Each structure stands twice: as C-alpha cells, then as structure tokens.
Structure 1
Amino acid sequence: MMLKSLACVACGAALLSAHALAAANDADSGTLARLTGAFNGWRHSGLTNEGEQYVAAYPRPPVDRGAQRFRTLIQGQLKRVDLHVRRPPALVVNGNPTPLYTDEQGWFARPWAFGAGSNSIELISADGAKRQRMQFYEADRTKPQAKLRAVVTWDDPHAQVDLHVITPGGLHAFFANPTLEDGSGFDVDSVDGAGPGIFSSAAPEHGIWLFFLNYWGNFDSTGYNFDSGAHDRDVITATLTLVFDENTPNERRETRVVPLRKIGDLVLVKSEQL
C-alpha cells in the first residue's frame, strides 16, 4: 500500500528544529529522502503500511499482533530507488541499523520506540557513500526511561523473525504474550519484514535474562505463509542489540549477529546477567 502522506513522527513532546527539518529536506543531490514534521512536536500520521494506528506512550504497551499501540512512526520517501541492489539503504535510529526496504516509488514507514533525551535518525545509501541525519530531543521526562532494550532486525523483507525474552523470574515475552506482569514488554513488534522488534524494561529484574530469535515464517502482501522458498535470502542475517541505560552517560550496548537458515530455527542468542 503506497503511503499518501510524508511524515516523520516521534513520541510525546519531541521537538524538531526548523534548521534540522530544512537540512532534511534540502534539495541538494546528496539528500537521500524527504521528511516533514510539525515544528511544535512531530505529527501523528495515522496509518502505516502495516495498517496500524500509532499513539505515543510508554512503558506499558497493551500490544497485540495486528493493532500495536504506543509506537512511533518514521515515514518518508527515498529520492532514488533501486529495488535490485543486494544491500538496501539503511535506516539507523539511535545507532541501531535496520535495512530500509521501500515500495517501487521509494515510500517507507518504519516503527520505533523513542526514549527521553537526545535521539537521532540517519539514512545511509546502499553503497554507504551518502548520509542524511537529523537529531531531535524528547523533552518529556515524566515517562520512565528504559534501563534495558532488546532490538532485533534482519535482512529479508519477506521473512518474519520473532524475539523471545525470558526474565530471571521465568516470565516469557513474545508476540503472543507481548506485555509482562513486571511492566516490561514490546514497544514495537513489526510484522512486515526487516523489523524492528523492540522489547523494553524500565526496571529490569536482577538475574539472568535469556534472548532467543525464532525464524517464524514468511510475510507478503497476502499475509503469513510457511513456504520454505518464499523469502529473498537463503541465509537470513538477524541482528540482536541490547541497549542498557539508553540516552544516559552510562549507556552501553552489545550486538550479536545470527544466521537463520530455515523456518523454525530457534537460537539462544544471548544470556545476560543483570
């Protein structure tokens, strides 16, 4: 479905300066995409290519698989599109890269979960030669800040990869159980390929956390399927990034890259002691 509006949305009272927007929309040949936004807070855009509405809130998202709330949308149109390149352009949000797949006109819409403080969005061309970046500040400090985030992305737009999180107390968060009794859960669980899936906890329990990735199936315009050949890559490369104390001076991150070869693959990617 082609997106009719051109917008970049962020949660709460995120502010985008006129200078940043002007830089993002510069007509120079080096500009990769056009983005727009309201100067007094980024605009709510309505529907995405997943047919879902977005409302900004945190940290307890009452998520279900088809109508996920409490997410933020990054939306726009690339100025130049080549659907045949092996490596697509990249969307990098707060240092987390995601392959940026578009329709034939270059339209894209990717969900994210932004925390308080300084946030960044960067577009990188397929060859890595051109970059477009904008920075904004989320000023709403009343929202609990995530002490732990787990972000998963992958490099096949037709594959569906699921993140499973097991807490030290034995709670299990995944697409069918997206929110937990301790208040943690999925801010984002993208269903249309490449991700992201984002699990967040504002007060992670001490002990051993387990993070699994599962190649669940494939996804296209007709919905889900389990056709072993209905994907773009023979080996899907999934990336799991753990972010601790995001947007603070103590922020640290760990990244693991995992190959997934067939539907049903389930891999323990990381066992983390907190």
Structure 2
Amino acid sequence: MRSFLLLLIGLACAPALWAAPTAQLSEPVGGWRYHGLLDRSENPQVAYPTPPINRGIQRNRTMIQGQLKALGHMRPPHSLAVNGNPLNLYTDDQGRFARPYAFGAGSNSVEVISAEGQSLKRVQFYEANNLRTPAKIRLVLGWDDPKAELDLHIVTPDGQHAFWARPALSNGGGLDPDGVDGPGPEMFTMTAPLHGTYLVYVNYWGNYGDGGYNFEETSNQNEVITSQITLVLNENTVDEKRETFIVPLRAIGDLLLVKTFNY
C-alpha cells in the first residue's frame, strides 16, 4: 500500500517535475511586417548582456528577443536558427536572450532549439518593406564561446575590406550586425554584388569578460573556439544556394581564410 501511495504522489507531482521546456519570442512578430531597424537613435538597442552594438552600419537590424522557460537540467548552448542559419544562443539566469539580426525582404523564420535538439518555438513572418532589396550575398558568422570575440573579414573584388573598423563599403557591401559581446552573429550582405572573387576570413581577435575586452589566453571559456560561417547566395529566391563551414580557432590572433568564391 505504501508503495502504491508513493507511486500516486509521484504521478501527481510529475507534471511539475517534467514540465516541457518552452520558449517565448517577442521579436520579430509573426505575420506581415513593414519595418526595419527598430531603434534609430544615436545609442541603438543593446545586445545581451550589456555592451552596446555601436559598430556596423545598422541597416535593417532587428533584435530577436525572448525567454527560455522550464529548462530543468538542460544546459546551453541552445540554438537560434534564423532562416536556417544556426547560431549558439546563451541566456541570463532567467532564460532571457536578445540577439541582433539583419533580415532581408520576403519570407523569414526564427526558431529556438533546445540544447537537446528539441524545437521550442518557431515564428514565420514576411518582411514586406518594399524599400528593402533581398541580399544576393549574405555571410553569417557565429561561434560557441560567449567569452571570445571573433571578427568576420570580407575582401570584395575591387579590393575593399569590410571588417569592424570599416563596416560600410562604397560598393554597397556592409557588415551588420557586428557582434561585440560573443557569440555573434556577425553578418555581411550585398544586394548588388560586384562580379569577381570574394575572400572570406575569420579572426580570433581577443576575449570578452566582466572587465571588458582582454587578450589573456586563458580568459576564454573553451580551449578550442568553434566558429561556423554560412554563405548564402540569392537568399529567399528559387536560386538560393548555401554552404556552411566549421572552422576551429585556438589562439588569439588566428586569422584563417575560410572561403574564396566567385560571383
């Protein structure tokens, strides 16, 4: 009888103990959307946890914000898949997160995936801003260490170099957002690409902690930083093509040529 009563008590408590993890997304809103950058002030909205997103050209940037709940023993990194581009997702102690992204025109999707691979929340929406031209070239960089600072570098066919100190190029290419607090994303887009050869580099610039940026070799979280670079051509069209590259970085100062491609 005692065992039977314990079993009943256990079953009664199970919903609380086994509550399924969930995710809430406050941005972007599902359905049709007609706006781009949400904050046009001189001090744009910040990424989590505190450092300002004060670089990049801030073109069409949107903050994807939300909260993960009832995660139990699940541990980060969780994943944020934006238009199929996977990014590591870290939260605060309450499960809250905010990551910047520059959406293109047309159909877009945002999905939160738990550390166990379970889809927690998916939002589909259509960006109907007629002033926005779809990206013909998009490069997305993310990495798996929130204490490391990685940078995306792009050299275009005319020899111009897009990176954190020169986010906007005269040929229409631009770096935005520029993740300054780890683990990204960093993103480069061109809507009217030049024909020729493009060079894609990733640089392990330094580390980031409570005291700001530093170059201490042991202040990163992971011994090997795993970066992921996704190249998308002709995004949101029937001619869309994509490639993903996994690149390990081990030491501050590492600069690796990830991809050479022609357009």
TM-score w.r.t. the length of structure 2 is: 0.82
Indicate if the aligned counterparts of 1:52 and 1:67 stay in contact, CA closer than 8 A: no
Q: Which residue of 2 aligns with 1:47?
A: 45
Indicate if the aligned counterparts of 2:22 and 2:70 stay in contact, CA closer than 8 A: yes
Q: Which residue of 2 aligns with 1:245?
A: 234
Instruction: Give a deviation string over 1:120-178, Cα, whole Å, max 9, x none.
Output: 00011111134321101101122122100011000000100100000111100000011
Indicate if the aligned counterparts of 2:175 and 2:189 stay in contact, CA closer than 8 A: yes
Q: State how far apart, in whole Å, the 1-side matches of 2:197 and 2:120 are.
A: 38
SS in 2 for 1:205: coil
Q: Which residue of 2 aligns with 1:230?
A: 219
SS in 2 for 1:227: coil
Alpha carbons of 1:96 and 1:73: their partners in 2 closer, same or farther (altered >3 Å)? same
Q: State how far apart, in whole Å, the 1-side matches of 2:115 and 2:231 are.
A: 25
55, 64, 68: which one pairs with 1:74?
Answer: 64
SS in 1 for 2:259: strand
Q: State how far apart, in whole Å, the 2-side matches of 1:127 and 1:140 are.
A: 36
Q: Which residue of 1 aligns with 2:137?
A: 148
Deviation at 1:223, TM superposition (A): 1.2
Deviation at 1:52, TM superposition (A): 4.0
2:95 is the counterpart of 1:106: yes
Q: Which residue of 1 aligns with 2:26?
A: 36
Q: State how far apart, in whole Å, the 1-side matches of 2:64 and 2:211 are.
A: 24
Alpha carbons of 1:40 and 1:66: their partners in 2 closer, same or farther (altered >3 Å)? closer
Q: State how far apart, in whole Å, the 1-side matches of 2:217 and 2:57 are.
A: 27
Deviation at 1:222, TM superposition (A): 2.0
Indicate if the aligned counterparts of 1:244 and 1:251 stay in contact, CA closer than 8 A: yes
Indicate if the aligned counterparts of 2:33 and 2:128 stay in contact, CA closer than 8 A: no
Q: Which residue of 2 aligns with 1:25?
A: none
Indicate if the aligned counterparts of 2:56 and 2:178 stay in contact, CA closer than 8 A: no
Q: Which residue of 1 aligns with 2:111?
A: 122
Q: Which residue of 2 aligns with 1:171?
A: 160
Runs of 5+ consecutive residues of structure 1 not aligned to the other structure: 1-28, 54-63
Equivalenced residue count is: 236
2:214 is the counterpart of 1:216: no
Alpha carbons of 1:242 and 1:66: their partners in 2 closer, same or farther (altered >3 Å)? closer
Runs of 5+ consecutive residues of structure 2 not aligned to the other structure: 1-18
Q: Which residue of 2 aligns with 1:182?
A: 171
Identity of aligned residues (%): 51
Q: State how far apart, in whole Å, the 2-side matches of 1:168 and 1:36 are.
A: 39
138, 141, 146: which one pairs with 1:157?
Answer: 146
Greater strand content? 2
Indicate if the aligned counterparts of 2:112 and 2:122 stay in contact, CA closer than 8 A: yes
Alpha carbons of 1:104 and 1:157: their partners in 2 closer, same or farther (altered >3 Å)? same
Deviation at 1:40, TM superposition (A): 7.5
Q: State how far apart, in whole Å, the 1-side matches of 2:119 and 2:198 are.
A: 38
2:194 is the counterpart of 1:196: no
Indicate if the aligned counterparts of 2:57 and 2:174 stay in contact, CA closer than 8 A: no
Deviation at 1:221, TM superposition (A): 2.6
TM-score w.r.t. the length of structure 1 is: 0.79
Q: Which residue of 2 aligns with 1:14?
A: none
Alpha carbons of 1:209 and 1:253: their partners in 2 closer, same or farther (altered >3 Å)? same
Indicate if the aligned counterparts of 1:162 and 1:174 stay in contact, CA closer than 8 A: yes
Indicate if the aligned counterparts of 2:34 and 2:129 stay in contact, CA closer than 8 A: no
Q: State how far apart, in whole Å, the 2-side matches of 1:219 and 1:83 are.
A: 26
